[in-house]
Amino acid sequence: MNAATPEPAADARPSSPGLVGKGIYDLLWVLCRTLGVSLFGFRVRFSQPLPPAGGLLVLSSHQSHLDPLLLGLASPRRLANLARSSLFRFKPFGALITALDAVPINRESSTLAALKTVIKKLQSGAAVVIFPEGTRTATGQLGELKSGFALMAKRAGVPIMPVAIVGAWECWPRTHLLPRPGRIRLEFGDLIPAEEISKLDERALVELCTARLQELDARARTARQQRR
């Protein structure tokens, strides 16, 4: 998909290994895709195609509980999201989110242990979603980026794909129990190659990614306003 294509084709579903995992993923993808378009006016645009394989850090702004789902619907490949390890204790639910590529993170363990878990996942060739703001926005605006993602990308030797989500906060702000209809836009930017990342220190990489996300956020807001 390129910038001239405003949303993914209906038949461009991500593929996945394993019959059970593939069946669950594909079924949920179709159902959620239908709801996303009908309820939230879901639209996505890519500046360049997402790498089809290999380790990738998807660096996204964080507006609502919908964000992991929205990114999964937008992506032409399966994305792994971080999840609290406690969510895996209930076996049926744990099996479900495992089939959807959730990565268990123990919040009671050290930050270093969590970093190692994500780096290992990236080095295995997975595309992992990171929300560098650390929490959902309280205002709908892009917050300050925390630097942990920079260490992950540099240690794993993987590229970064920045993406801004706009409209999800209006559909499901932190103060609301349930989501409401609206218009949601995702803007994927240009890939930051691993070679470029290796030449930057962590501070410079955070500054670069901040600038990229701010630009994508502004672009998404403009496109969303034009659809009103």
Residue 122 above 80 pLDDT? yes
How far is residue 17's CA from residue 21's CA, in Å, rounded to a whole number? 7
Q: How many CB atoms lie within 10 A of CB 114?
A: 19
Q: 3-state secondary structure string, 8-25? A: CCCCCCCCCCCHHHHHHH
User: Reduced to 3 DSSP states, what percent helix, strand and coil does the chain have, rounded to the nearest 5?
Assistant: 45, 15, 40
Domain assignment present for 32: no
Is there a contact between 201 and 147 (Cβ–Cβ < 8 Å)? no
pLDDT in tens, 51-99: 999 999 999 999 998 898 899 889 989 999 988 888 788 887 677 677 6
Bin 220: left if φ > 0, else alpha if -120 < ψ < 50, else beta: alpha
Alpha helices (runs of H) in 102-142, residue ranges in sequence order: 111-123
Domain assignment present for 34: no
pLDDT classification of 228: cutoffs 50, 70, 90: low
pLDDT of 63 reads: 96
Domain containing residue 69: 43-81+107-226
pLDDT classification of 20: cutoffs 50, 70, 90: low
Q: How far apart are the first and last CA of the chain?
A: 24
Residue 5 above 60 pLDDT? no
Domain assignment present for 191: yes
pLDDT classification of 19: cutoffs 50, 70, 90: low
Q: Which residues contact 204 (CB under 8 A, 6 or more apart)?
A: none
Domain assignment present for 35: no
Between residues 29 and 82, the one the model is more confident about: 82
Residue 208 above 50 pLDDT? yes
165: closest CA among 132, 147, 193, 187?
Answer: 187
pLDDT classification of 143: cutoffs 50, 70, 90: very high
CATH number at residue 183: 3.40.1130.10
Average pLDDT (161-189) is: 94
The dihedrals phi and psi of 67, each to the nearest 5 degrees, come to -55, -50
Is there a contact between 28 and 69 (Cβ–Cβ < 8 Å)? no
pLDDT of 35 reads: 74
Mean pLDDT of the chain: 86
Percentage of residues in the chain having pLDDT higher than 90:
57
Is residue 97 classed as helix, strand or coil in its secondary structure?
Answer: helix
Residue 3 above 60 pLDDT? no
Domain assignment present for 183: yes
Residue 174 above 60 pLDDT? yes
Looking at the structure of the chain, the number of domains it has is: 1
pLDDT in tens, 176-198: 998 999 999 999 999 999 999 99
